[in-house]
Structure 1
């Protein structure tokens, strides 16, 4: 397990995004502006990526993160679909997730390095994470104005991926055997999905105005 400042910073920002998300839902007692479909996709990402959690131990740090991602993701789905279901915006959260899942399954079988269940699922999770935020972005576009905690949550998600790109560059420059083009490509695509969001988020902060997507 390779640790560096960029990897740890990325993980901390990811945890911060989860904090903002759960704080928004629990403290406001609603899930307005949050896409259940994106949360389900992220849960599928963690489940398929961490199938080895019970038999492969890399480090305590890694195991704790896996558990946190799995449990908080499941809890978020519970909050949206059960506890605060009355506030869920199903009218605008309409992207058919199968349009994302099926192509990712096909790509996983094409690009997997090993046809074992864990490796196919891991490859699938890399592809799916790249597009899992799409239902959330489309929901926000359809509603326009973005709540403060929602904007912080999504900004941190994008920043976490951007920091991982820096982590990959650092590892490529310092580790002779480090080579992971699939991860790099999917991670870069995922980060690009946040670029416009970053622009309008920073613009609203600088101008002191409400965050509105065009």
Structure 2
């Protein structure tokens, strides 16, 4: 593991902790897209199918369990916890996320890194679901960004959550660049391309985030 991947994992973890802090401390999920959280839960469930079959390290297992468990806990709170769910902006969180799921699954069937009919069916299915999770993660933030634009004003914890989530992808791009130059057979073009697209989606948010930080003002996004 290199420093860029570790930094990416830590900023990802911080983003989740910030979101959990917002939900559990304020008993509110206002400004948070349930659809984005459901997409992230699906991302982790399909990416980590190898959790109990391929052991890499204790760190790897723990991080996978944390991401799966936290994403499911957030979805549960937003759907089932009475005090939290009544603050959910259902009328504004109307992005048709099922279209993203369908589109990413079709794309994963067509484009994945080890497409061969002679391959072990289990490994092929695992590769398809891995590609699906990468594609879906690239666009999972869209419902959240749309919700923030519709609401206009962004509270501090929600803004920090989205910022750290975007920073995580930025560090992972540096991780892929580092691995490309230091590992002889590194080939994750799907992850690299999807990561670049995902980071680009944050560009507008980052602009207004840094503008508000520089001017010590409340974060506001144009409708």
TM-score (norm 1): 0.97
* Alignment equivalent of 1:166, drawn from 169, 174, 180: 174
Three-state SS of the structure 1 residue aligned to 2:96 is coil
Deviation at 1:213, TM superposition (A): 0.3
Q: CA deviation at 1:177?
A: 1.1
Partner of 1:148: 156
Following the alignment from structure 2 to structure 1, what is the Cα–Cα distance between the partners of residues 57 and 108?
A: 26
> Deviation of residue 29 (structure 1)?
0.7
Deviations 1:74-126 (A, max 9, x none): 00001111111111100000001111011101100011224622111111001
* Cα distance in 2, alignment partners of residues 97 and 195 from structure 1: 21
SS at match of 2:184: coil
- Structure 1: any 5+ residue segments left out of the alignment? none
1:100 aligns with 2:100: yes
Query: Does residue 1:177 correspond to 2:175, yes or no?
Result: no
Q: How does 1:61-76 map to 2 (within 5 A)?
A: 61-76=59-74
The 2-side partners of 1:161 and 1:44 are apart by 18
From 55, 58, 61, give the equivalent of 1:60. Answer: 58
Paired with 2:50 and 2:184, the residues of 1 have a C-alpha distance of 26
Q: Which runs of 5+ in 2 are unaligned?
A: 116-120
Structure 1 consecutive aligned stretches of length 4 or more whose deviation exceeds 3 Å: none
* Distance (Å, rounded) in 1 between the aligned partners of 2:205 and 2:63: 26
The whole-number CA distance in structure 1 between the counterparts of 2:47 and 2:102 is: 17
Find the counterpart in structure 2 of residue 26 from structure 1. 24
192, 201, 210: which one pairs with 1:202?
210
Distance 2:19 2:98 in 1: 24
Q: Does 1:126 align with 2:134?
A: yes
* Residue number among 33, 46, 57 corresponding to 1:48 in the alignment: 46
Deviates more, 1:7-16 or 1:169-178: 169-178
Residues 1:87 and 2:95 are matched in the alignment? no
CA distance in 1 between counterparts of 2:189 and 2:129 reads: 17
1:191 aligned to 2:199?
yes
In 2, Cα distance between the equivalents of 1:159 and 1:33? Answer: 20
Q: Deviations over 1:123-169 (max 9, x none)?
A: 10010000000000000000000000000000000000000001111
